[in-house]
Amino acid sequence: MDLLQTPRDVADRLKQRISVRNHIATEDIALCCTHTHTGPAIGAPKVWGRNDLRDEAYIKTLAAKVSGAVHEALKEAVPVTVAFARHPVDIGNVNRRVRQKDGSYLFLGQHPHLAPNGPAAREFAMIFFKDPDRKLVAGIGHYSSHPIFTPSYLHKVTGDYAGIFSQAVEKEVGDGCVIAFLQGTLGDQMPRKFCSSYQLAIQAGRKLAYCFLNHSSANGGKP
Protein backbone atom coordinates (compact mmCIF):
# COMPACT_ATOMS: atom_id res chain seq x y z
CA MET A 1 0.00 0.00 0.00
CA ASP A 2 1.25 3.49 -0.85
CA LEU A 3 1.01 4.71 2.74
CA LEU A 4 3.40 6.03 5.37
CA GLN A 5 2.36 3.36 7.86
CA THR A 6 -0.69 1.54 9.20
CA PRO A 7 -1.62 2.21 12.84
CA ARG A 8 -2.43 -0.96 14.78
CA ASP A 9 -6.17 -0.38 14.84
CA VAL A 10 -6.30 0.29 11.10
CA ALA A 11 -4.19 -2.78 10.39
CA ASP A 12 -6.56 -4.88 12.49
CA ARG A 13 -9.56 -3.53 10.56
CA LEU A 14 -7.95 -4.32 7.22
CA LYS A 15 -6.99 -7.82 8.29
CA GLN A 16 -10.46 -8.50 9.63
CA ARG A 17 -12.07 -7.38 6.37
CA ILE A 18 -9.67 -9.53 4.34
CA SER A 19 -10.23 -12.50 6.64
CA VAL A 20 -14.03 -12.39 6.53
CA ARG A 21 -14.27 -12.04 2.77
CA ASN A 22 -11.51 -14.46 1.81
CA HIS A 23 -11.51 -17.01 4.67
CA ILE A 24 -7.90 -16.37 5.63
CA ALA A 25 -6.86 -16.35 9.28
CA THR A 26 -5.83 -12.87 10.42
CA GLU A 27 -2.55 -14.23 11.78
CA ASP A 28 -1.67 -15.35 8.25
CA ILE A 29 -2.10 -11.86 6.79
CA ALA A 30 0.81 -9.44 6.46
CA LEU A 31 0.38 -5.80 5.43
CA CYS A 32 3.11 -3.77 3.78
CA CYS A 33 3.47 -0.01 3.23
CA THR A 34 5.90 1.72 0.89
CA HIS A 35 6.42 4.47 3.50
CA THR A 36 5.63 7.28 1.09
CA HIS A 37 5.33 10.55 2.99
CA THR A 38 2.71 11.88 0.58
CA GLY A 39 0.03 9.20 0.87
CA PRO A 40 -3.51 9.56 2.25
CA ALA A 41 -3.87 10.37 5.96
CA ILE A 42 -4.94 7.27 7.86
CA GLY A 43 -3.54 8.31 11.20
CA ALA A 44 -0.15 8.21 12.88
CA PRO A 45 -0.86 9.13 16.52
CA LYS A 46 2.57 8.03 17.75
CA VAL A 47 4.16 10.43 15.27
CA TRP A 48 1.84 13.44 15.34
CA GLY A 49 0.19 13.13 18.73
CA ARG A 50 -2.70 15.58 19.19
CA ASN A 51 -2.14 16.93 15.65
CA ASP A 52 -2.86 13.56 14.09
CA LEU A 53 -4.94 13.49 10.89
CA ARG A 54 -7.22 10.61 9.97
CA ASP A 55 -9.55 10.21 6.99
CA GLU A 56 -12.15 7.68 8.14
CA ALA A 57 -13.95 7.64 4.79
CA TYR A 58 -10.71 6.71 3.04
CA ILE A 59 -9.96 3.97 5.57
CA LYS A 60 -13.33 2.35 4.83
CA THR A 61 -12.64 2.55 1.10
CA LEU A 62 -9.15 1.17 1.62
CA ALA A 63 -10.46 -1.84 3.54
CA ALA A 64 -12.92 -2.64 0.76
CA LYS A 65 -10.31 -2.27 -1.97
CA VAL A 66 -7.63 -4.30 -0.21
CA SER A 67 -9.99 -7.18 0.60
CA GLY A 68 -11.29 -7.01 -2.96
CA ALA A 69 -7.75 -7.17 -4.36
CA VAL A 70 -7.04 -10.28 -2.31
CA HIS A 71 -10.30 -11.81 -3.54
CA GLU A 72 -9.38 -11.16 -7.17
CA ALA A 73 -5.87 -12.50 -6.64
CA LEU A 74 -7.19 -15.76 -5.21
CA LYS A 75 -9.70 -16.09 -8.04
CA GLU A 76 -7.08 -15.47 -10.73
CA ALA A 77 -4.29 -17.54 -9.14
CA VAL A 78 -2.14 -19.58 -11.55
CA PRO A 79 0.94 -21.80 -11.13
CA VAL A 80 4.13 -19.74 -11.33
CA THR A 81 7.87 -20.09 -11.29
CA VAL A 82 9.83 -17.67 -9.12
CA ALA A 83 13.09 -15.99 -10.04
CA PHE A 84 15.13 -13.19 -8.51
CA ALA A 85 17.85 -10.75 -9.45
CA ARG A 86 19.92 -8.01 -7.83
CA HIS A 87 21.46 -4.99 -9.49
CA PRO A 88 22.96 -1.69 -8.28
CA VAL A 89 20.76 1.31 -9.08
CA ASP A 90 21.58 4.86 -8.02
CA ILE A 91 18.55 7.12 -7.60
CA GLY A 92 20.49 9.73 -5.64
CA ASN A 93 20.27 7.91 -2.32
CA VAL A 94 22.45 9.09 0.59
CA ASN A 95 22.80 8.54 4.32
CA ARG A 96 21.13 11.39 6.22
CA ARG A 97 23.29 10.91 9.34
CA VAL A 98 26.40 12.99 8.71
CA ARG A 99 29.30 12.07 10.96
CA GLN A 100 31.27 14.96 12.46
CA LYS A 101 34.97 15.02 13.34
CA ASP A 102 34.19 14.70 17.05
CA GLY A 103 32.20 11.50 16.43
CA SER A 104 28.79 13.10 16.76
CA TYR A 105 26.16 13.13 14.01
CA LEU A 106 24.02 15.81 12.41
CA PHE A 107 20.77 15.23 10.53
CA LEU A 108 21.04 16.17 6.86
CA GLY A 109 17.40 17.27 6.78
CA GLN A 110 18.20 20.05 9.26
CA HIS A 111 21.65 20.80 7.80
CA PRO A 112 21.26 20.39 4.03
CA HIS A 113 24.56 22.17 3.33
CA LEU A 114 26.54 19.23 4.76
CA ALA A 115 28.18 16.62 2.55
CA PRO A 116 26.81 13.10 3.21
CA ASN A 117 29.56 10.73 4.33
CA GLY A 118 27.78 7.61 5.56
CA PRO A 119 27.05 4.30 3.83
CA ALA A 120 24.25 4.45 1.25
CA ALA A 121 22.15 1.55 -0.02
CA ARG A 122 22.15 1.24 -3.80
CA GLU A 123 21.15 -2.38 -4.41
CA PHE A 124 17.83 -3.10 -6.09
CA ALA A 125 16.42 -6.59 -5.51
CA MET A 126 13.76 -8.00 -7.82
CA ILE A 127 11.45 -11.02 -7.64
CA PHE A 128 9.61 -12.25 -10.72
CA PHE A 129 6.56 -14.50 -10.87
CA LYS A 130 5.99 -16.06 -14.30
CA ASP A 131 3.19 -18.30 -15.52
CA PRO A 132 3.74 -21.62 -17.37
CA ASP A 133 4.12 -19.64 -20.62
CA ARG A 134 6.98 -17.65 -19.03
CA LYS A 135 4.87 -14.52 -19.01
CA LEU A 136 5.42 -12.08 -16.14
CA VAL A 137 2.23 -11.99 -14.06
CA ALA A 138 3.53 -10.37 -10.89
CA GLY A 139 6.67 -9.09 -9.25
CA ILE A 140 8.25 -7.32 -6.31
CA GLY A 141 10.86 -4.59 -6.29
CA HIS A 142 12.91 -4.01 -3.13
CA TYR A 143 14.90 -0.83 -2.45
CA SER A 144 15.91 1.11 0.65
CA SER A 145 15.22 4.83 0.55
CA HIS A 146 12.59 7.17 1.98
CA PRO A 147 10.08 8.07 -0.78
CA ILE A 148 10.39 11.82 -0.21
CA PHE A 149 11.29 13.41 -3.54
CA THR A 150 7.89 15.13 -3.74
CA PRO A 151 7.79 18.54 -1.99
CA SER A 152 5.01 18.95 0.55
CA TYR A 153 3.95 22.35 -0.76
CA LEU A 154 2.49 20.64 -3.84
CA HIS A 155 -0.17 19.04 -1.63
CA LYS A 156 0.05 16.05 -3.98
CA VAL A 157 -1.13 12.58 -2.95
CA THR A 158 1.39 10.20 -4.50
CA GLY A 159 3.36 7.04 -3.87
CA ASP A 160 6.50 8.99 -4.87
CA TYR A 161 9.19 6.92 -6.60
CA ALA A 162 7.95 3.63 -5.11
CA GLY A 163 4.44 3.96 -6.49
CA ILE A 164 5.72 5.29 -9.82
CA PHE A 165 7.97 2.23 -10.17
CA SER A 166 5.02 -0.14 -9.77
CA GLN A 167 2.80 1.84 -12.13
CA ALA A 168 5.50 2.05 -14.82
CA VAL A 169 6.15 -1.71 -14.87
CA GLU A 170 2.46 -2.59 -14.77
CA LYS A 171 1.75 -0.23 -17.66
CA GLU A 172 4.58 -1.64 -19.77
CA VAL A 173 3.74 -5.31 -19.14
CA GLY A 174 -0.05 -4.89 -19.22
CA ASP A 175 -2.52 -7.80 -19.08
CA GLY A 176 -3.23 -7.39 -15.37
CA CYS A 177 0.36 -7.77 -14.21
CA VAL A 178 0.68 -6.73 -10.54
CA ILE A 179 3.91 -5.20 -9.25
CA ALA A 180 4.49 -4.49 -5.57
CA PHE A 181 7.20 -2.42 -3.92
CA LEU A 182 8.83 -3.70 -0.74
CA GLN A 183 10.55 -0.98 1.24
CA GLY A 184 13.89 -2.00 2.70
CA THR A 185 15.48 -1.17 6.03
CA LEU A 186 15.61 2.47 5.00
CA GLY A 187 16.54 3.91 8.39
CA ASP A 188 18.70 6.89 7.47
CA GLN A 189 18.55 6.30 3.70
CA MET A 190 16.97 9.11 1.71
CA PRO A 191 17.34 11.06 -1.57
CA ARG A 192 19.99 13.77 -1.52
CA LYS A 193 17.49 16.06 -3.27
CA PHE A 194 14.71 15.34 -0.80
CA CYS A 195 11.39 17.22 -0.93
CA SER A 196 12.54 19.11 -4.00
CA SER A 197 10.79 17.85 -7.14
CA TYR A 198 8.00 15.48 -8.17
CA GLN A 199 9.80 15.11 -11.49
CA LEU A 200 12.73 13.55 -9.63
CA ALA A 201 10.31 11.02 -8.12
CA ILE A 202 9.18 10.14 -11.63
CA GLN A 203 12.77 9.77 -12.84
CA ALA A 204 13.74 7.57 -9.88
CA GLY A 205 10.67 5.36 -10.21
CA ARG A 206 11.21 4.90 -13.93
CA LYS A 207 14.89 4.13 -13.41
CA LEU A 208 13.96 1.25 -11.12
CA ALA A 209 11.23 0.18 -13.54
CA TYR A 210 13.65 0.00 -16.48
CA CYS A 211 16.02 -2.12 -14.42
CA PHE A 212 13.18 -4.43 -13.39
CA LEU A 213 11.92 -4.85 -16.95
CA ASN A 214 15.41 -5.57 -18.27
CA HIS A 215 15.97 -8.32 -15.71
CA SER A 216 12.51 -9.84 -16.15
CA SER A 217 13.33 -11.04 -19.65
CA ALA A 218 13.33 -14.78 -20.38
CA ASN A 219 16.97 -15.14 -19.41
CA GLY A 220 16.85 -12.77 -16.45
CA GLY A 221 16.85 -13.74 -12.78
CA LYS A 222 17.86 -16.90 -10.95
CA PRO A 223 15.32 -19.68 -10.20
Q: What is the average pLDDT value for the chain, to the nearest integer?
A: 93
* pLDDT band of 211, cuts 50, 70, 90: very high
**In the chain, what are the domain boundaries?**
8-75, 81-215
Specify the DSSP element, H or E, that contains 65.
helix 56-75
Whether residue 146 is predicted with pLDDT greater than 60 in this model: the reply is: yes
Instruction: For 75-117, write each residue's pLDDT tens digit.
Output: 999 999 999 999 999 999 999 999 999 999 999 999 999 999 9
Quick one: pLDDT at residue 49? 80
Taking the model in full, what pTM does it have? 0.92
pLDDT band of residue 218 (cuts 50, 70, 90) is: low
Give strand ranges (E) for 71-158.
81-88, 93-95, 97-99, 105-107, 123-130, 136-143
Q: How confident is the model at residue 207 (pLDDT cuts 50, 70, 90)?
A: very high
pLDDT at 177: 95
